[in-house]
Every structure is written in C-alpha cells, then in structure tokens.
C-alpha cells in the first residue's frame, strides 16, 4: 500500500489506534473517512480536523454497514482503501456459560463477522479501482493466547487466516490484502490497558506503522518490532515460553 494519495475508510476510528492512524494518514496526504458508533466523537473529530469526513456505522448491524457503504462510496467515488479496524475485547470466564456466552457472541459478531460484512459491502467497488487495499486488523494474540480472552484470541486468529486466504483469492485482482498485527498498545480497548506497563505508547506504535507502510509498500503484514515476540514464537520454537510469559504478565496487557 502506498503511504500517500489514497482515499481511506476506517470504521472503528473514533478512538485509539484507528483515530491515531487516521490523523497520521491524513497528514501524509490521504483523504480519510472515519466511522464508528459514537456520534459525539464523530462530530468532534470532524470539527477538530477539517478535511476528515465522518460516517456513523455499527459494524454489528448489516443494514448499518450497507447504508454507510452507500454513503461513503457516493461521497468518495475514489475510495480505494478499507480498514476493518472496529473491534472489542473483554475478559471471559469459560467455566460457566453465564461467564462467557453473550460476550463471546458479541466478540465474534464485531471482530469477525463485522470485517466479513464490510468486505462484502466494499469488494465490488474496490475491485473497480486501479489500486486498492483491504487492511485487516488482527493482533499478536492471533499467534499466542491470552487465557483471559478466549473469544478475542479466536477472532483475531480468524482474521489472520481470512487475510491469508483472501490474499490468495484476490491475487489476480487490483485488491491487495494487508494485515496489521498490533502488539499491546495503550488504548481504551480494555479497562486499564491505557495505563498498562507492557502496552506500547500509541504514538510510538502509529509512528512505526507509518514508517513500515512507507518503507515496505509491498509488505503483506505490518509487524512492529514489539509484536514479533508473540508473532514468531512457533517459528522460533519457543512458543511454550511465549505463552507462559504472556500469561504471567499483566492480564490486561495484550
């Protein structure tokens, strides 16, 4: 993906990684459309950052996705990048159904079905662009499990394999598939995460991501240095140590 000259829709950019990336990419000469559910944040982002367009979208609702897609494509016919950023994460107790089932269903609907439905809503449009990118967002936890968050880990592993599969299937089209694999980053994704000692500062993370996109425009995965401990445990042969270390650390941390 080129670092500049794109028109980029980021559903899931009212806060955290999505918003920070949106602002950095706008500064690098891209047209940005921010999406999310919190309308007061959308209004503030539009007011504070002239040039950024905003769209209300709930990625758990197929009708909301389709409506937002129509709006975005009508207003920005040159749209060529979809970033499936929206996600949720929470602690679950799988020893009893009351401890996990409704949260697990919500996690699958947001983190896995959401990106699938978003891609369905945009694929025809993206295929008609001369150079397009679907940017998926997995996690270091796609590659090593945090015990406290089983559904989250599973959905992010699903996003990884979806990205790998789509890249093969779309190889002969104009659409590239790029997977962002964040480590623990200091955001409000989980209670306490912003202050976690093991979370990477948001600015540092986004700076490194932008540098990687700029210096490796043909890359298929965006891996900052901090994620490689989780990402490559199995390949290095120290997966058991990675899992042990991960789960000994702050349970909110990654």
Ligand X SMILES: NC(=O)c1ccc[n+]([C@@H]2O[C@H](COP(=O)([O-])OP(=O)(O)OC[C@H]3O[C@@H](n4cnc5c(N)ncnc54)[C@H](OP(=O)(O)O)[C@@H]3O)[C@@H](O)[C@H]2O)c1
At its nearest, how many Å lie between ligand X and the CB of residue 214? 20
Q: Which residues contact 16 (CB under 8 A, 6 or more apart)?
A: 185, 187, 188, 189, 202
> Whole-number minimum distance, CB 186 to ligand X, in Å?
7
| Cβ neighbours around 189 below 10 Å, total | 21
Of 89 and 134, the one with the shorter C-beta distance to ligand X is 89
Concerning whether 152 is annotated as a catalytic residue, the answer is yes
Tell me whether residue 76 or residue 252 sits nearer to ligand X (CB atom).
252
Q: Which of 152, 156, 166, 187 is catalytic?
A: 152
* Closer of 36 and 233 to ligand X (Cβ): 36
Q: Say if residues 11 and 36 touch (Cβ distance below 8 Å).
A: yes
**Lookup: tokens for 235:** 């390949």
Site residues (vs ligand X, CB under 6 A)? 11-18, 36-38, 41, 57-60, 85-89, 110, 137, 139, 182, 184-185, 187-189
Residue 78, judged by CB atoms within 10 A of its CB (0-12, 13-18, 19+), counts as exposed
Query: Least CB distance from residue 130 to ligand X, whole Å?
Result: 28
Question: Per this entry, what is the length of the chain?
Answer: 254
Catalytic center residues: 152
């Amino acid at each position: 993906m080129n670092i500049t000259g794109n028109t980029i829709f980021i559903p899931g950019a009212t806060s955290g990684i999505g918003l920070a990336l949106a602002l950095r990419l706008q500064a690098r000469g891209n047209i940005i459309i921010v999406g999310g559910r919190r309308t007061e944040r959308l209004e503030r982002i539009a007011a504070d950052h002239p040039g950024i367009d905003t769209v209300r979208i709930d990625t758990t609702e197929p009708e909301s996705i389709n409506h937002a897609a129509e709006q975005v494509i009508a207003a920005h016919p040159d749209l060529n990048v979809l970033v499936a950023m929206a996600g949720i994460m929470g602690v679950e107790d799988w020893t009893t159904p009351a401890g996990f089932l409704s949260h697990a269903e919500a996690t699958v609907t947001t983190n896995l079905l959401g990106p699938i439905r978003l891609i369905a809503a945009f694929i025809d449009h993206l295929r008609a662009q001369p150079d397009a990118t679907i940017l998926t967002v997995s996690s270091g936890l796609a590659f090593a499990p945090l015990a406290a968050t089983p559904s989250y880990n599973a959905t992010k592993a699903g996003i990884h394999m979806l990205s790998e599969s789509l890249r093969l299937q779309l190889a002969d089209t104009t659409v590239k598939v790029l997977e962002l694999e964040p480590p623990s980053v200091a955001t409000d994704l989980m209670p306490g995460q912003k202050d976690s000692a093991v979370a990477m500062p948001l600015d540092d993370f986004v700076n490194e991501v932008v540098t990687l996109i700029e210096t490796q425009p043909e890359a298929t995965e965006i891996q900052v240095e901090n994620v490689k401990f989780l990402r490559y445990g199995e390949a290095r042969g120290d997966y058991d140590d990675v899992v042990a270390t991960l789960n000994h650390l702050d349970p909110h941390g990654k």
